[in-house]
């Protein structure tokens, strides 16, 4: 696993935490920001996975 893959997965996890926290406390703005961050991290991790596969 390379740095880009780790970075994407960390962003995904942080976004999920924000999303859940926003949902629990009823903060729609935090929930929305978390959802965006989670999906952005997923895209980054998937792109890094693809790059790694193409190298292989």
Q: How far is CA 50 from the centre of its chain?
A: 16
Residue 56 has pLDDT above 80, yes or no: no
pLDDT tens digits, one per residue of 33-49: 999 999 999 999 999 99
What is the dihedral angle through the alpha carbons of 39, 41, 42, 48, rounded to the nearest 10 degrees?
A: 150
- According to the model, what pLDDT value does residue 22 have? 98
Residue 1 banded pLDDT, cuts 50, 70, 90: confident
Q: What is the pTM of this model?
A: 0.89
Q: Stretch 19-41: mean pLDDT, rounded?
A: 98
Residue carrying structure tokens 């965006």 = 36
């Amino acid at each position: 696993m390379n740095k880009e893959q780790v970075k994407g997965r960390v962003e995904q996890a942080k976004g999920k935490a924000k999303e859940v926290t926003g949902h629990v406390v009823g903060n729609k703005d935090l929930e929305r920001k978390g959802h965006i961050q989670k999906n952005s991290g997923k895209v980054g991790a998937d792109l890094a996975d693809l790059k790694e596969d193409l190298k292989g």
